[in-house]
Amino acid sequence: MGYHYELRFGGVGGQGSLTAGTILAHAAVFHTNYYATQAPTYTSQVRGGAAKADVIISDKPIAFSETTHVDFFLATHQKAYDAYKGDVAEGSYVLVDPGLIKVADEDRKRWKIYEYPLVNVAKHEIGNVVTMNVIAVGVCVGLTHVLDAEAVRDAIKDDVPPAFLDLNMKAYNLGLEVGEKFRKEAEAKK
Amino acid sequence: MGRVEFLNANAAIAEAALIAGCGFYAGYPITPSSEIPERLSRIMPEKGVPFIMLEDEIASINACVGAAASGVKAMTASSGPGISLKQEAFGEACIMEVPIVVVNAMRGGPSTGLPTRPSQADIMQAKWGTHGDHPVIALAPCNAQEVVFETIRAFNLAEKFRQPVYLLIDGLLTHLHAKVYLPDPEEVEIIDRDQPTVEPEEYYPFDYNYEIPPLAKWWTEDGKSYRFHISSLNHDKTGFPTVVPKYVQWQEKRLQNKILNHIDEIEKFEYYKMDDADVCIVAYGSTAESARVAVDEAREEGLKVGMFRPITIWPLAEKQLKELGDRVKSIIVAELNLGQYLLEVERVIAGKIPIYSVLQAAGVPIRPNQILEKVKNPEKDVEICLSDEEVKSFGGGE
Amino acid sequence: MAVNYANYLRMEKMPLYWCPGCGDGIVLRAYIEAIDELGWDKNDCAMVSGIGCAARVTGYVDFHTLHTLHGRAIPTAVGVKMSHPDKHVFVFGGDGDIVHIGGNHFLHACRRNVDITVVLINNWIYGMTGGQHSCTTPSSAKASTAPRGSYEPTIDVCQTAIGAGASFVARGFAGDPIHLKKYIKEGLAHHGFSLIDVFSPCPVNFGRRNKLGDPVKLMEFMKNTLVSQAKAKRMSEEELEGKFVTGILHVDDKKPELTDSYKELVNKSQDSSDYWAKYVKGTLTDKDKYSITREELKGLYPYDVETPLKEWKKI
């Protein structure tokens, strides 16, 4: 089996979960020679309903596009965390904002839980709460090395409006740093 | 050289329609097909061709009939309830022999049903939805890339056979974004409707001398003026209503025969790992992708399983299905409905070999392991396989 | 100058299909005279109709003609007009066809102000199907589905059209062909959606059931429900109750026409640097296109069906 990675970005409508998934998929398709699919799931509740984007990245064409073995799960709302954690494989990375989500103890045993205050950092350090999804993308890439950090950077450049590019780059760099730090800590523990 | 984009099937249809030369779109919003007009509303003005959202589904398909009759390629798209509303005019396009493309993003039903969930329950509606005897062409691509090529083929078949064509996709494809290659128009074969070779005074829109009479464009650059009448009533060669039994029967038969006599040109299908297969899974559309994984997994376990995938749903791939009856020991039909294509398979096989089925109308895709389960235990009913947590993710409601 | 009617008609389809005493022939004649006076080339004209007696007009006029579904003539005509904005597009139809079953399309065509001329032959009844009552049947008048008289109120089509935003609205009468021709001609010449609501008698299916089977009597009866604009101005609201005003009731030359608005949108859109704008202008460069090898394409389309790309077939 070649390279195959499944990611899930869950939140509630309006938080930008789908965009986070799209950025990674674009990075895989346009800036890395990989295949990718992105399958969003949402309810008719446009704002506030649980929403997720499942992204599969692979070096081979993807036939069946449903995720069955999620390797990385980002949750930015309790509703989404509870609803979408089912497919997350044992031992996978789970990134949550502790201000938004309460993680049960048995979940901590099941997955590698990383907690980072995405909303607060986006609001106070970056200056705009909407960048929380890009911070999360950064943490994800730093932590998992799912794709080359530069490829993702290029995808962000393509996808965000030019006026917000600097802001988003700042958010991405910060997230990336945090992710790398998590990764080093985990390696050190080993 | 074309472009590579990351698109879902809806956006792919929109782009492919312009590649195929679509010159008119009229629509009405409905989940899960709305991204088709959303994208077209941006790109059609860029190409300088008309795009309009009308007051209802009925208006939008009728506007397509008007545009197409006057000489341009037209498309409309809808889903579930909207397709039901369009049925009358679909029949009109059949009898007037006006080429249009109708996209149906199939969703659960009947009625308002399951707007955001995939289904394949409109297979029989595609064939029998409108009243009266009439032929139908319906295509069901299985992934976003094939959607591009099948959209172009839908336009080509419509133009060639003067026939409305259904493009059937489902909620799974409409949501799924994937890497898609969009060819340049010069790169693919584009068919435009035949134009008359006779002088205007000798021209009949339904000339008995042709199997598929040319449909003259109303306004051509050379300024030749083919003025004619087309009635939605049964008509003779001039396009005027007739009740003369001989002419009515001719017309009805020619409508059928222009498709049936060219069935080999219209049929398209795929055999997957069928060379030595004992068991054949018959699946189409997005379900076929699930079946493909099931076949791979079965092969890994040493089971001789293959797949037959009709891409052209209507007219039926009767010859190929009949052949399957001689080739394999059993057939498993997998589809997202309670047995529609299955009926046709059973009719064609006529008891020769056992036919099993994985039928699901639950608003969730059939998963590979469900099909694999059926391969191993064909007599056992397959359950909808969802974990408790997944069930929770669908929210409340008994 | 005498009008050569035969030039505009499919003479081989004569005699007309309509009943003795029907007003449709008068309306058709007024309409042809109006077209003749405008000097339009019949090859530039297209007419769409639905189903009904009035809808049979498409069979007689030597234009590009479509005889479509019941109630759907207007959207079909919108399709023709949008794809050929420089041509003249007309709709002929009855009250049942255009206002009753097709009411929603009618309202929105008025609102959009698409440059189509609708001649509505308003005979207060479903004539072809045997005299069932429609939305224009006068209250308490008898019909085959209202043997004791209709219990529904009627619609004033012109007021509805004005309210919905039509930019030219007139009401004529088959008993007054001189004015009728004038209204039709101005409606045709108007750039925008025009409606000419024509009261026209149906002695067979409306008249006979209402003791008005004699065409002259029915004409008289219809005439008495009509008042000219000038006269209406001098009448009180009570006096106008149940009356319909004739004349050119509304003209708005400022409202943008739909295909013009779309043209503007096209011009704006073609300034963009997106693929299709560049494609039309012929300014696509290699940079706009992402190169892909045949192997990669196979990856996207991995099945044992022939790749549909014609030039790659050769490889």
Give all domains of chain A, ordered by start, each with its CATH number. 4-189 (3.40.920.10)
Question: Domains plus CATH for chain B?
Answer: 3-187 (3.40.50.970), 269-382 (3.40.50.920)
What are the residues whose beta carbons fall under 8 Å from the beta carbon of C191, sequence distance 6 or more?
Answer: C115, C253, C257
Residues in chain C: 315
pLDDT digit string, tens, across residues B109-166: 899 998 888 999 999 999 999 999 999 999 999 999 999 999 999 999 999 999 999 9
Per the CB < 8 Å rule, is C79 touching B219?
no
Provide mean pLDDT across the span A150-159: 94
For residue C290, which residues of chain A lie inside 8 Å, CB to CB? 30
pLDDT bin (cut points 50, 70, 90) of residue B384 is confident
> How far is CA B386 from each of CA A6, A86, B33, B392, rounded to the nearest angstrom?
19, 10, 26, 10
Q: What percent of chain C has pLDDT over 90?
A: 87
Give the three-class secondary structure for B302: coil
Give the distance from residue A34's alpha carbon to the nearest chain B alpha carbon, in angstroms.
9
Q: Are B310 and B317 in contact (CB under 8 A)?
A: yes
User: Has residue B391 got a pLDDT over 90?
Assistant: no
Whether A158 has its CB under 8 Å from any CB of chain C: the answer is no
Q: Are C126 and C52 in contact (CB under 8 A)?
A: yes
**Residues in C 95-134 with any Cβ partner in B closer than 8 A:** 104-105, 107-108
**Residues in C 282-301 with any Cβ partner in A closer than 8 A:** 290, 299-300
B20: its two tokens: 């195929």
Peptide bond into B315 cis (omega under 30): yes
Subunits close to C (at least 3 CB pairs below 8 A)? A, B
More confident residue, C246 or A160: C246
For residue A43, which residues of chain B lie inside 8 Å, CB to CB? 116, 395
Which residue of chain A is at minimal alpha-carbon distance from C291? A30
The partner residue sitting opposite A65, judged by closest CB among B4, B289, B393, is: B289
pLDDT at C200: 97
pLDDT at A45: 63
Per the CB < 8 Å rule, is B390 touching A87?
yes
Per the CB < 8 Å rule, is C290 touching A35?
no
Q: Which helix (H) or strand (E) holds C268?
A: helix C258-269
The partner residue sitting opposite A86, judged by closest CB among B179, B368, B390, is: B390
Per the CB < 8 Å rule, is C302 touching A61?
yes
Whether C178 has its CB under 8 Å from any CB of chain A: the answer is no
Per the CB < 8 Å rule, is C299 touching A61?
yes
User: Has residue B337 got a pLDDT over 70?
Assistant: yes
The count of CB pairs under 8 A between chains B and C is 192
Give the distance from residue A124's alpha carbon to the nearest chain B alpha carbon, in angstroms.
32
A154: its two tokens: 């290029």
What are the residues whose beta carbons fall under 8 Å from the beta carbon of B79, sequence distance 6 or more?
Answer: B30, B31, B32, B33, B104, B105, B106, B107, B115
Per the CB < 8 Å rule, is C299 touching A30?
no
For residue C302, which residues of chain A lie inside 8 Å, CB to CB? 61
Q: Which residue has the tokens 């001989």?
A: B246
C295 burial level (CB within 10 Å; 0-12, 13-18, 19+): exposed
pLDDT at A41: 79
The count of CB pairs under 8 A between chains A and C is 7
The partner residue sitting opposite A63, judged by closest CB among B115, B177, B293, is: B293
Per the CB < 8 Å rule, is B116 touching A36?
no
pLDDT at B387: 66
Per the CB < 8 Å rule, is B59 touching C292?
no
Q: Which helix (H) or strand (E) holds B47?
A: helix B35-47
User: Has residue C182 got a pLDDT over 90?
Assistant: yes
In the beta sheet, which residues pair with residue A50?
A: A12
How far is it, in rounded angstroms, from Cα A97 to Cα C157? 62
* Number of CB atoms found within 10 A of residue B398's CB: 2
User: Has residue C300 got a pLDDT over 90?
Assistant: no
**Residues in A 59-98 with any Cβ partner in B closer than 8 A:** 62-66, 68, 82-87
Domain-by-domain residue ranges, chain C?
A: 5-257, 270-313
User: Has residue C313 got a pLDDT over 50?
Assistant: no
Whether A86 has its CB under 8 Å from any CB of chain C: the answer is no
pLDDT at A51: 83
What are the residues whose beta carbons fall under 8 Å from the beta carbon of A139, sequence distance 6 or more?
Answer: A95, A114, A116, A118, A175, A176, A178, A179, A182
* Number of CB atoms found within 10 A of residue C256's CB: 13
Give the distance from residue B3's alpha carbon to the nearest chain A alpha carbon, in angstroms.
11
pLDDT bin (cut points 50, 70, 90) of residue B221 is confident
Whether C309 has its CB under 8 Å from any CB of chain B: the answer is yes
The count of CB pairs under 8 A between chains A and B is 69
pLDDT at C269: 96
pLDDT at C290: 61
A60: its two tokens: 């081979």
User: Has residue A46 got a pLDDT over 90?
Assistant: no
Provide mean pLDDT across the span B301-315: 97
Report helix, strand and coil shares of chain B as percent, to nearest 5: 40, 20, 40
How far is it, in rounded angstroms, from Cα B297 to Cα B372? 8
Provide residues of B within 8 Å CB-CB of chain A.
4, 6, 31, 115-116, 143, 172, 175-179, 289-290, 292-293, 365, 367-368, 387-390, 392-393, 395
How far is it, in rounded angstroms, from Cα C47 to Cα C62? 9
pLDDT digit string, tens, across residues C248-281: 999 999 999 999 999 999 999 999 989 999 999 9
User: Has residue A184 got a pLDDT over 70?
Assistant: yes
Per the CB < 8 Å rule, is A60 touching C299?
yes
Q: Are B365 and A66 in contact (CB under 8 A)?
A: yes
Which residue type, as a one-letter code, is found at position B153? R
Per the CB < 8 Å rule, is A44 touching B116?
yes
For residue A30, which residues of chain C lie inside 8 Å, CB to CB? 290
Whether C302 has its CB under 8 Å from any CB of chain A: the answer is yes
For residue B293, which residues of chain A lie inside 8 Å, CB to CB? 63-64
Provide mean pLDDT across the span B174-201: 91
**Residues in C 238-267 with any Cβ partner in B closer than 8 A:** 262, 265-266
Which residue of chain A is at minimal alpha-carbon distance from C298? A61
pLDDT bin (cut points 50, 70, 90) of residue C315 is very low
More confident residue, C145 or C306: C145
pLDDT at A67: 81
Q: Are C177 and C29 in contact (CB under 8 A)?
A: yes
Which residue of chain B is at minimal alpha-carbon distance from C107? B55
More confident residue, A79 or B20: B20
Give the distance from residue A6's alpha carbon to the nearest chain C alpha carbon, in angstroms.
19
Whether A32 has its CB under 8 Å from any CB of chain B: the answer is no
How far is it, in rounded angstroms, from Cα B137 to Cα C187? 42
pLDDT digit string, tens, across residues B52-82: 999 999 999 999 999 999 999 999 999 999 9
Q: Are B258 and B286 in contact (CB under 8 A)?
A: no
What are the residues whose beta carbons fall under 8 Å from the beta carbon of B377, sequence distance 6 or more?
Answer: none
Whether A30 has its CB under 8 Å from any CB of chain C: the answer is yes
pLDDT bin (cut points 50, 70, 90) of residue B389 is low
Give the distance from residue A119's alpha carbon to the nearest chain B alpha carbon, in angstroms.
24
pLDDT digit string, tens, across residues C34-88: 999 999 999 999 999 999 999 999 999 999 999 999 999 999 999 999 999 999 9
Q: Are B179 and C300 in contact (CB under 8 A)?
A: yes
Whether A60 has its CB under 8 Å from any CB of chain C: the answer is yes
How far is it, in rounded angstroms, from Cα C202 to Cα A47? 57
Which residue of chain A is at minimal alpha-carbon distance from B177? A38
Give the distance from residue A149's alpha carbon to the nearest chain B alpha carbon, in angstroms.
20
Question: Euclidean distance between the first and final Cα of chain A, in Å?
Answer: 26
Whether C79 has its CB under 8 Å from any CB of chain A: the answer is no
A159 burial level (CB within 10 Å; 0-12, 13-18, 19+): middle
For residue A84, which residues of chain B lie inside 8 Å, CB to CB? 393
pLDDT bin (cut points 50, 70, 90) of residue B394 is low
pLDDT digit string, tens, across residues B26-57: 999 998 999 999 999 999 999 999 999 999 99
Quote the CATH superfamily of domain C5-257.
Thiamin diphosphate (ThDP)-binding fold, Pyr/PP domains (3.40.50.970)
Give the distance from residue B118's alpha carbon to the nearest chain C alpha carbon, in angstroms.
22
